[in-house]
Structure 1
Amino acid sequence: MGMMQEFKAFAIKGNVIDLAIGVIIGSAFGKIVDSLVQDVIMPVVGRIFGGLDFSNYYLPLDGQGMTMTLAEAKKVGPVLAYGSFITILLNFILLAFIIFQMVRLVNKARRKESEVAPAPAVTPEDIVLLREIRDSLKR
């Protein structure tokens, strides 16, 4: 079997396609969570802590002053943008929490589904007939 045939067999397996779909959906979901953190949560957190904006927190590495925005400071010289890291870390924590909640709901639904007792199986007619014959022979 040639390498191209092996690759084709690998690529069209359901698992690879499911994985690709998961990566695409995960990427889109990541953008949603990123927007949630940057546009909704961070302004509220910044407001609570006195108007802080984590995205502009940085340390200049070349001794320049910290009176400019992060974008301006990056043009002047190297910076340690720890505010961006804080924002990305919050993105990750929120994403992990949301995924945890989703998995928890799915597991809860599966448990409820397995707890439902299956209906008793209907005994086939031939078995019922054989039992009647057995009982009548005993008498």
Structure 2
Amino acid sequence: MIDLAVGVIIGGAFGTITTSLTQDIIMPFVGWLFGGVDFSSHFVRLGAVPDGFKGSVTSYTDLKAAGVPMLGWGQFITVAINFLILAFVIFLIVRAVNRMLPKEAPAPAATPEDITLLREIRDSLRK
């Protein structure tokens, strides 16, 4: 039970590290590679901006905080890349752990009954 709790806590912390890696290192590089594109700012507004809106109409976070219905496809790309990085890193960790574990010798295959009988006959004939 304690192992599971430790795994959940470390997994949550690892998720935060992966999110930071994606948002602070990989996505800015990808944006620079594609000419300064910031994926989190790409969205399609599906509804009207409420009266008295104080934020920027081009800011995804401001519009989302105001409750404007939007299709945030840029944010989805960021989250999808975050997931792929996390899945790849977990794959590498599991593969490394599997390589470190001692390999068990394969269990001997059960001898079929007819082979056992033939061996007994052979041993009887030798005597």
Per the normalisation by structure 1, the TM-score is: 0.62
Once the 2 structures are TM-superposed, how far is the Cα of residue 69 of structure 1 from its aligned partner? 1.4
Q: Are 1:25 and 2:19 counterparts?
A: no
Map of 1:10 onto structure 2: none
Q: Quick check: which one's helix share is greater? A: 1
SS, match of residue 5 in structure 2: helix
Q: Does structure 1 conserve the Cα–Cα contact (< 8 Å) formed by 2:39 and 2:74?
A: yes
Describe how 1:1-139 pairs up with structure 2 within 5 A.
16-62=1-47, 68-74=58-64, 75=66, 77-110=68-101, 113-114=102-103
CA distance in 2: counterparts of 1:20 and 1:73, whole angstroms: 37
Q: Count matched residues.
A: 97
Per the normalisation by structure 2, the TM-score is: 0.68
CA distance in 2: counterparts of 1:68 and 1:49, whole angstroms: 20
Once the 2 structures are TM-superposed, how far is the Cα of residue 17 of structure 1 from its aligned partner? 1.7
State the superposition RMSD in angstroms.
Answer: 2.1
CA distance in 2: counterparts of 1:19 and 1:50, whole angstroms: 44
SS, match of residue 29 in structure 1: helix
Alpha-carbon displacement from aligned partner over 1:7-41 (angstroms, at most 9, x marks no partner) = xxxxxxxxx22111111100000000000000000
CA distance in 2: counterparts of 1:81 and 1:42, whole angstroms: 16
CA distance in 1: counterparts of 2:67 and 2:2, whole angstroms: 46
Query: RCO (CA 8 Å, sep 6+): is it higher in 1 or 2?
Result: 2
Amino acid in the other structure paired with 1:40: I
Amino acid in the other structure paired with 1:82: W
